[in-house]
Structure 1
Amino acid sequence: MGIFESCLTKSALKKALKKELITVNGTIATTATYIQGGEVIAFTISEKITATKQLRFPLQVLFEDNYLAILHKPAGIMVSGNTFKTITSALPQNLTKSTLPDACTPQPAHRLDYPTTGVLLAGKTSSSIRALNQLFKDKRVSKTYYAVTIGEMETQGEITSLLDGKASHTSFQVCESVSSERFSTLNLVKLNPKTGRRHQLRKHLASMGHPILGDKEYGIEGLILNGKGLYLHAYSLQFIHPVTEEKILVKSELPERFGKLFSIFQINNS
C-alpha cells in the first residue's frame, strides 16, 4: 500500500490482489507473495467498460470544495459494504467531480451506523482521502453527537472502557431531561467521542444502564421503541482542512423527531 494511488487502504489492496490485478515480475501476486526489493510491481486495470446498474439516491451536501465534501447521512442506509444501496455508491452522483490531477471516485473518510443520521466526511482526490484518514487516525477531528437516552442520568461525565480489546473514551453532558410514562425519564445528551470504536456511543451508554432510545441491539428488554428509528445523530465535525488549512466546522441540524421530545431550537441555532 502506498505505491498505487488507486489502492488507498489495506482493504482496497486486498481486493486488488483477490481480483488478480497486481503482478510481481510478471507473475500474479497474492497476499503470500514475499517482496525482497528490486521487483517490478504492476497494477493493471482493464479498460473494458461494462454496463452497471446505477444507484439514484439524492443526498444533502453541507460543504464541498475541490478536495472534500461533507454531507448529511439519512437513517436506513449503510455508508459502505457489500450491498447495492450505500452512501459510497451514491456519492458520485451527488458531488461535483474534482478538477485536480489526482481526482478519484469519492470515498467516505469514516463510518456511521446504518440507523444513525448526521454529518459524514468524504474525500474527492487520492491525496485528500489519505490526508483525511490520517486526521482521524491522529484524532484531529472533533465530533459531536446528540442522543436520546433512557433513565435518570448524572448531568455529565466520562466513559472509558475496552471495546474489542481497545481503549475507548466518551465525554457526555445531559442537556435536558423530561418525564416519560413509558420510559420514566428521557434525556437529550451531548456526546463527544474521543476514540472511534465500532458502536462506541451505543455500547458506552448501554453499559451505564442508559441505552439510546430505539436501540434494538443494545436496548433494555421491554423498553425498546420500535418503528421510530435510533435516536442518535452526528451533529457536527470540526477539523483543520488538510490542504487549505482553514478551520472547518459543519453542522447537521437535529432531526424533527428530537424536537417532539425536547427544545432543540437553541442547539440548531447555536
Structure 2
Amino acid sequence: MAIKSHIVPPLSSPIRLQEYGVGIFMSVPTKSALKKVIKKKYVEVDDVIATTATYIRGGETITLAIPNEISSSKKLVFPLQVLYEDEHLAILHKPAGILVSGNGFKTIAHALPQNLQPSALTDVTKPQPVHRLDYTTTGVLLTGKTGSAIRKLNQLFQDKKVQKVYYAVTIGEMPPHGKIDTLIDGKPSESPFEVIQSVPSEKYGFLNLVKLDPKTGRRHQLRKHLASIGNPILGDQMYGKEGLILTGKGLYLHAYSLDFTHPFTEEQIYIMDNLPERFTKIFGTL
C-alpha cells in the first residue's frame, strides 16, 4: 500500500476537498481521479475517511492510501509545440485529432510530461490541462505544473477571468456582428461574434472568417451556437447542414489566444497561436 500525506496551509476561506485536492498528489492529478479515490475511501482528513462533502479549512492532514498502486512506465511519445512555460504553468499548441484528456492512452495529458520541463517547486505534480478543447479543434491550451497552479487556474476559469478568443470558418451569409445566447443543455450561454472577412463560394454561398469571444464554456458551445443561427462551422460533422458538410479536412475552429493574469507572478499573460494554414488558404494572410 502506498501512503502519502499533505498538510493543508492556512486558507482564507473553506473549500471542498474535491476542489482543493486536485493535483496535491501526483497519482491523482485530475478532479475526476480525486472523486474516484474519495468514493473508494482511499482519502482521510485528520484520520477520518473523507467524502465528496468534506470541507477543508486549513491545518488538516490529508492522507492518500492506495492499495497495490501500480505505476505504468509506458510513455506517449507525441511532440507538442510549447508556446510559453514557467515553473507554474505552460501554454501549448493543441493539434487536431487528439483528445485533451480521457481514458484513452493517446491524449494531450499523457504527452505533457515528455514535452514540459519538471517544475522545481515543492508541490510539483504531473502536468494537467485545466480546460477542454474538442478532439477536432486546434489552438492554445493552458496547463498547470503544480498542485497549487492547477487549483488557481481552475478557479480563474470558474470566475471567468480568462479571456479566450477563437476563430472559425462558417458557412452562409451572416450578419457582421452579434451575440448568440441560446441555452445549451438548459444552461445560460453567450457567444459574441464578429465577421472579419467573407468570400463568395460556389458550393456554400459564402465562407466567413468569424472571431468569437465566448463568455461561457459549455460543451460544443461555439459549434452549437453557430449552427443555431444557420451558419455552422465548415467541416462540422455533427452540427453541419446536410449536403454541405466538408469531409476529410477537419473542423475549421481554432482557439487563437488566451489572456489572463498569472496567479503567482501577477504578470499579464497574452499568448496567441497563429491561424492554421488551411484558414489562410481561404482568406489569405491577415
TM-score between the two structures when normalised by the length of structure 2: 0.85
Q: Which residue of 2 aligns with 1:74?
A: 95
Unaligned runs of 5+ in 2: 1-16
Give the one of 153, 160, 174 matched to 2:181: 160
Give the one of 223, 230, 234 matched to 2:251: 230
| Matching residue's letter, 1:114 | Y
Distance 1:51 1:240, change over 3 A: closer
| Matching residue's letter, 1:108 | P
Count the aligned residue pairs. Answer: 262
Distance 1:243 1:26, change over 3 A: closer
Give the one of 114, 135, 151 matched to 1:93: 114
Distance 1:150 1:101, change over 3 A: same
| Matching residue's letter, 1:21 | Y
Q: Which residue of 1 aligns with 2:263?
A: 242
| Matching residue's letter, 1:213 | L
Q: Which residue of 2 aligns with 1:113?
A: 134
Distance 1:194 1:48, change over 3 A: closer
Shift of 1:22: 2.5
Q: Which residue of 2 aligns with 1:136?
A: 157
Distance 1:219 1:63, change over 3 A: same
Q: Which residue of 2 aligns with 1:44?
A: 65
Shift of 1:165: 1.6
Residue 219 (1) aligns with residue 237 (2)? no
Distance 1:25 1:154, change over 3 A: closer
Secondary structure of the corresponding residue to residue 210 of structure 1: coil
Partners of 1:177 and 1:133 in 2: CA distance: 36
Secondary structure of the corresponding residue to residue 204 of structure 1: helix
Shift of 1:112: 0.1
Residues 21 and 34 of structure 2 are in contact (CA less than 8 Å); yes or no, is this contact kept in structure 1? no
Residues 112 and 127 of structure 2 are in contact (CA less than 8 Å); yes or no, is this contact kept in structure 1? yes
Partners of 2:61 and 2:182 in 1: CA distance: 46
Distance 1:17 1:152, change over 3 A: same
Runs (4 or more) in structure 1 with deviation over 6 Å come to 24-31
Partners of 2:227 and 2:256 in 1: CA distance: 20
Partners of 2:230 and 2:241 in 1: CA distance: 8
Shift of 1:45: 4.0
Unaligned runs of 5+ in 1: none
| Matching residue's letter, 1:223 | L
Shift of 1:50: 3.9
Residues 167 and 210 of structure 2 are in contact (CA less than 8 Å); yes or no, is this contact kept in structure 1? yes
Q: What per-residue deviation string (whole Å, max 9, x for no partner) do you get for residues 69-93 of structure 1?
A: 0000000000001100000000011
